[in-house]
């Protein structure tokens, strides 16, 4: 069984979409994969309750309790390994609204099995406030990207994208909500395609 460990910081709606797809599509049978654990860097992340309701193990690692980024990422790696104990293949690590920049050491240790969803059509608008920046730039389309994580923030091979038209006069919040609805379809689909790759 291939373990999936999901990292969150907030409401966890992408995580919930992944859990829903895994359950409805019986990923343990169809893909030999299961969500083994959810880790949040914030104790108040709404997604933690959703994960617990779905019967998934959770852990909280408050980044403020660590002296350095390296120390936090080492603890993160240990918690992932704990959720993955006994597995034959190392876990797939899914960043789902995980708002921490990872150290090059962590990224290297999980290279090739670390995915992220970013709320823009990369390579446009890496970083924060993507929807407002797309509106300010006069973009007619916005969207989201699932990509492999590499050492450079919001870069790395693109695995899938969802495109959403920017409606005249709409707010960044409204656009974000419409993009998020597409993220919920995109991310489970991209994870499935990734797990089906030979040697993934």
C-alpha span between 118 and 97 (Å, rounded): 8
Q: Which is nearer to ligand GAR, 10 or 160 (CB)?
A: 10
CB of 184 to ligand GAR, least distance (A): 8
167 secondary structure, DSSP code: P
CB of 157 to ligand GAR, least distance (A): 17
Residue 119 interacting with ligand GAR (CB under 6 A): yes
Which candidate in 118, 131, 147, 184 is catalytic?
118
Q: Give the DSSP per-residue string, 32-85.
A: SEEEEEEEES-TT-HHHHHHHHTT--EEE--GGGSSSHHHHHHHHHHHHHHHTT
Residue 80 · residue 59 · CB < 8 Å? no
User: What is the per-residue binding string for ligand GAR in 6-35, x denoting contact by CB under 6 A?
Assistant: --x-xxxxx---------------------
**Residues forming the site for ligand GAR (CB under 6 A):** 8, 10-14, 47, 96-97, 117-119, 144, 180, 183
User: Which residues are part of the catalytic machinery?
Assistant: 118
């Amino acid at each position: 069984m291939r373990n999936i460990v999901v990292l969150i910081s907030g409401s966890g709606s992408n995580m919930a979409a992944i859990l829903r797809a895994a359950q409805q599509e019986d990923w343990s049978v169809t893909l030999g994969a299961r969500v083994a654990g959810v880790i949040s860097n914030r104790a108040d992340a709404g997604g933690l309750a959703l994960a617990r309701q779905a019967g998934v193990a959770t852990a909280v690692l408050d980044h403020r309790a660590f002296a350095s980024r390296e120390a936090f990422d080492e603890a993160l790696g240990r918690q992932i390994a704990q959720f993955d104990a006994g597995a034959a293949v190392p876990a797939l690590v899914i960043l789902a609204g995980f708002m921490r920049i990872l150290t090059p050491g962590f990224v290297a240790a999980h290279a090739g099995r670390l995915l992220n969803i970013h709320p823009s059509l990369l390579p446009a608008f890496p970083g924060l406030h993507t929807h407002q920046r797309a509106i300010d730039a006069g973009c007619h389309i916005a969207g989201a990207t699932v990509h492999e994580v590499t050492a450079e923030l919001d870069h790395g091979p693109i695995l899938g994208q969802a495109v959403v038209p920017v409606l005249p006069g709409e707010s960044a919040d409204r656009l974000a909500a419409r993009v998020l609805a597409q993220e919920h379809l995109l991310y489970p689909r991209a994870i499935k395609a990734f797990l089906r790759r030979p040697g993934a």
